[in-house]
Amino acid sequence: MSLFQGKKGLITGVFNEKSIAWAIAEQVMDGGGACGFSYMPDRPDDQRQKNLGRLQKLTEGKPQAQFLAPMDVTSDEQIAEVMTRCSQEFGKMDFLLHSIAFAPPEDLRGDTIATSRAGFKMAMEISAYSLLALARAAQDVLADGASILTLTYYGGEKCVPGYNIMGVCKAALDSIVKYLAFDLGPRGIRVNALSAGPLQTISGRGAGVDAMLRLYEAMAPLGRNISHAEAGRCGAFLLSDMSSGISGDILHVDAGYHAMGSPGRMLDKFKGLIAE
């Protein structure tokens, strides 16, 4: 039997084929899981409906993609509408993937100390509070023993220059994972986070991913970067019953980079510059 045979759930935050959420969704659907997808609503004046169009193109020909629904996570009403749709389509959900983050570009590009009050509020609401909002709205739709997964990054644990205010948001998100795991634990609902190394994604490009890719390749114990497929497989694992004993955790999928306390093999390149 396939890993997700008979399982149903909601995938949020797929922007294009390079999204980590899409890599996870593909693994889930290939394993027999039925998925509903939410997307950021297009502006009323956008005749091309670009956000919906991208998702339609990705899910075309995939019978496991059950529905597409607009959802702005700053609106409790829209979140409730999507959960009602999930209840109508699935009855009960077995998994929920939260893959939503945003900060105003002018605040993300600037030093953290320069973050505006309005930018901080927006970034924290969309990137961290939205997990609380989704989990709360999904309580009656999630089956006992279901799995909630969010996407985080190492910049929430350590200072990663260039990640700036988003690192502060990820630190809050990491803490929310732990507290939600406790709140939902009596029902057997697990809450975890996947911390992937740098990948070529829309959000990654905004955080200077090219330089990070070179750094990770030089420092990580495996001496390489990860692939979208590796992140997808690990995310699907955390959404599946295979991870039934894991909750409140952060799984690092970064070729071991997070384990390093020094530049590692990078030091070989600088031996002549370092005094004995």
Residue 181 has pLDDT above 90, yes or no: yes
Task: Check residue 174 and give its pLDDT.
Answer: 98
- Of the pLDDT bands very low, low, confident and very high (cuts 50, 70, 90), residue 271 is low
Query: What pLDDT shows up at residue 246?
Result: 98
pLDDT at 205: 58
- Residue-by-residue DSSP string for 75-124: -HHHHHHHHHHHHHHHSSEEEEEE------HHHHHS-GGG--HHHHHHHH
- pLDDT computed for residue 70 by the predictor: 97
The three-state secondary structure class of 202 is helix
Quick one: pLDDT at residue 184? 98
Catalytic pick from 153, 154, 216, 257?
153
* pLDDT per residue as tens digits for the range 76-90: 999 999 999 999 999
- Catalytic, 39? Answer no
Q: Identify the sign of the CA torsion 210, 212, 216, 218.
A: positive
Domains assigned to the chain: 8-273 (3.40.50.720)
Is 163 assigned a catalytic role?
yes
Q: What is the pLDDT of residues 137-161, one digit of tens each?
A: 999 999 999 999 999 999 999 999 9
Q: In the structure, what pLDDT confidence band is assigned to residue 41 with cuts at 50, 70 and 90? A: very high
pLDDT tens sequence across 191-246: 999 999 999 866 655 556 788 899 999 999 999 999 999 999 999 999 999 999 99
Query: Catalytic pick from 39, 129, 154, 163?
Result: 163
DSSP 8-state assignment for residue 256: T
